[in-house]
Amino acid sequence: MLAPGFSDRVLLEQEPLLTRYFDLLVSELKSKIDGPDPGERRVDVMAYYNFTTFDIIGSDLVLGEPFGALEGGEYHAWIRNVFESIKMLGWIRLGFNYSAIGAVFSILQTLVPSFAQKRKQHMKFTKERLQKRLDSDTDRKDIIAYVHCDNDEKDGLSYEILGNSRILLTAGSETTATHLSGATWYLLTHREILRRVQDEVRTAFRTADEITLRSVGMPGRLPYLDAVIQESFRLYPSVPAALPRITGPEGAVIDGNFVPGKISVGVHQWSTYRSADNFALPNDFIPERWLPNAPQKFHTDNKEALQPFHLGPRVCLGKSLAYFEIRSILTRMLWNFDMQLEDESQHWLDKQKEYTLWDKPSLWVRLDHRRA
């Protein structure tokens, strides 16, 4: 039911709405450069990436109206709740596997009123916005249009609509903004690579209007940018842990080994992507390894090991949307701005902890209009 809403055809039909937010991001950042206070050129780009992706998923694809974060330049309360809940994901995953910890998690919800209250507010806001979207008189073919098509519930939202929408609102925004932040940090800490990808983007497009969903995704047009995106996924996967699955009752043969039934299995992404068994110089940021004419030392790289969107029938539905957003936003950032990493963010990657998703500090960057 969900898959049609994520097809390339449907997403391309949504291009005017998507482009509105891409352009608004650029406009808001340019206003920082042109403002009266020179200090405002110092921008937390991680926050602005989040503003953009959350507004897109809220306005264009799920809720039918934006959070207003990008225009307001600050996090909506609903978005703040998402980030504050990230640390609880580790407890939730443990709770699914260990009954004692599950009991501890239930007790935590009871003993920590603020957590329980924020969860209640989060659910209430989501339900109200979803109901408003479903009651609206529109023929928009957004994702909710496909979720709603078989809904026969008469007493409010069905579990399927509410549950899936909550997942889409987070997975369709936070993870994309995380990758954009990681790619930006790696580029700004590797100036030669930054210059090369910047030259490629600025040569490929004479004007900003030429940057479209189709043009940035055209095969072979931006090969080095695509290599940067892949290398950023490898070194900084948005979901660094395993994406777990459970074997069927009869068990399964995985990589030539029999695994009994009802066993949780998964591939730990961070470890896989930084293994010398899979990649030469595994801890180094080297986009060239992904180019068709890669240096000889990278010819033995196991590139199939990089699967940030997972594999099989449960592969991430939002893969095309994520690539559209990542290519479109990175291209605009490189085309429009010269960027310099602020001192306090030089060790940005080392200041993070993983709770299924990354708990990230601000990414401070000094922006200037591009030099001719």
Q: Which residues are annotated as a binding site for heme?
A: 316
* Token code pair at residue 66: 């934006």
Backbone angles phi, psi at 257, to 5 degrees: -115, 135
Residues 6+ apart with CB under 8 A from 37: none
Binding-site positions: 316
Tokens (6 digits) for 44: 């937390």
Burial label, 292 (beta-carbon count in 10 A; 0-12, 13-18, 19+) = exposed
DSSP 8-state assignment for residue 345: G
Which stretches within the chain are classed as H helix?
A: 8-13, 15-34, 45-56, 69-72, 77-97, 99-111, 113-135, 143-148, 159-171, 174-188, 191-204, 213-217, 223-235, 269-273, 319-336
Q: What are the residues facing 368 on neighbouring strands?
A: 338
206 DSSP 8-state letter: S
Considering only CA atoms, which of 236, 230, 243, 235 is closest in space to residue 326?
230
User: CA 147 from chain center: how many Å?
Assistant: 22
The Cα–Cα gap between 227 and 73 comes to 31
Residue 55 has a CB neighbour count (10 Å cut-off) of 25
User: Residue 369 is inside which H or E element, if any?
Assistant: strand 364-369
**DSSP labels, 132-179:** HHHHS------HHHHHHTT---SSS--HHHHHHHHHHHHHTTHHHHHH
CA distances (Å), 73 to each of 48, 331, 334, in order? 8, 21, 21
